[in-house]
Amino acid sequence: MDNYLTYLYLLTPLHTGGSANEGNLMGIAREVHTEFPYMPASSVRGKVRSVLEKDSKDNPQESAATSLVFGRRIEDGNQPTEGEIWFADATLLFFPIASLSHHMIWITCPLWLERWSRWLAPNSQANVRSLIHTCRQHLSKDGRKSAVVSFEREKLYLQTALLQPAELASENFEIISPELTGLLEASGLVNLLPERLIVLPEAECLSLVETGLLREVRVRLETGSKTVDKGSFRSEEAIPPETVLFFPWGMKRSQAVAIDKDEKDIDKARAEAEQTQAAKDMLRNIIPDRMSTRLQFGGLEGLGRGWAEMKSMQITAEEGSR
């Protein structure tokens, strides 16, 4: 099995669609047990599949190959099949926060780093977990620190909250930089991440994420008069640009394309199966490259939401199974 780890660097706000809407608020998807925002695996899988289906719509063999790799849909009375590719949810790794002292910084927490470490190579995993252990010690009651920073200790504003130097612990985050090489090659402010990174306890991280989400109010206007239509309005949530998410995914061992035994011309059926097999092999080689391009995820695409730069790295089956 070939397994991969993909980073999503948001270029525009991401609206993932919520499990429930409260009043006029169009919320985003959140984890039930943590309340952290995330992007469901179904959204990732659906987007990647739609892009590949669009590329192959004019080629029957490539279309059939896409169906085999991603699984057959429920249509024409056929039952769905599992397919040869899997995706996990995209979860937060680094979240941007406004700072009166540093303009913009990224926050993370031991939970996010722990989730990330599970999909790294053994040596890298050990380095990240060592950093997590150190951060947890600083943030414990015995450590008595409010945050661990990647820069010199100085007055730090997290949005409007002020942390004094005595409340901070400074650590060298270079130990995790090699694991972020692909991500840091992306254009944009993300290149500043290693020198503007803060580790916070999970509860404080959740509070800052909650206040750091984009919320945009929209009103419905009467045609012609351009006045508000009966007070109709709604508020939409979105994960802000410069956020970094990650998700693991992989491809199972390729299965040989079966020959249609109901086909009267067996030679024709065999030739079609061989063509589909060749198309499927080519598709499996293309997908990793596609996962290191720019794609648009989530809803509100017409408003430019959800553009993300993707960077993928391959991990072995043994590492990915941890």
- pLDDT at position 320 is 39
H or E element, residue 218:
strand 214-221
- pLDDT at position 190 is 79
Alpha carbon distance 220, 129 (integer Å): 50
What pLDDT, in 10s, does the model give residues 218-272? Answer: 766 666 665 555 656 667 889 999 999 999 999 887 777 676 656 656 776 677 7
**C-alpha torsion sign, points 191, 300, 288, 51:** negative
> Where do we find the tokens 């991603």?
70
**CA-angle at 196, arms to 39 and 298, nearest 5°:** 15
- pLDDT at position 118 is 93
Q: How far is CA 238 from the centre of its chain?
A: 14
Query: Which residue positions in the chain have pLDDT lower than 50?
Result: 23, 318-322
- pLDDT at position 69 is 86
The neighbour count for residue 50, using CB atoms within 10 Å, is 12
What pLDDT, in 10s, does the model give residues 191-227? Answer: 888 889 999 999 999 999 999 999 887 766 666 665 5
- pLDDT at position 262 is 63
Sorted by where each begins, the domain ranges of the chain are: 1-16+41-88+241-322, 94-212
Residue 158, C-beta contacts closer than 8 angstroms, at least 6 positions apart? 97, 99, 105, 107, 147, 198, 208
The neighbour count for residue 52, using CB atoms within 10 Å, is 20
- pLDDT at position 227 is 59
Number of residues in the chain: 322
Alpha carbon distance 101, 160 (integer Å): 10
How far is CA 13 from each of CA 28, 36, 125, 297, rounded to the nearest angstrom?
12, 16, 30, 10
The neighbour count for residue 187, using CB atoms within 10 Å, is 9
- pLDDT at position 273 is 74
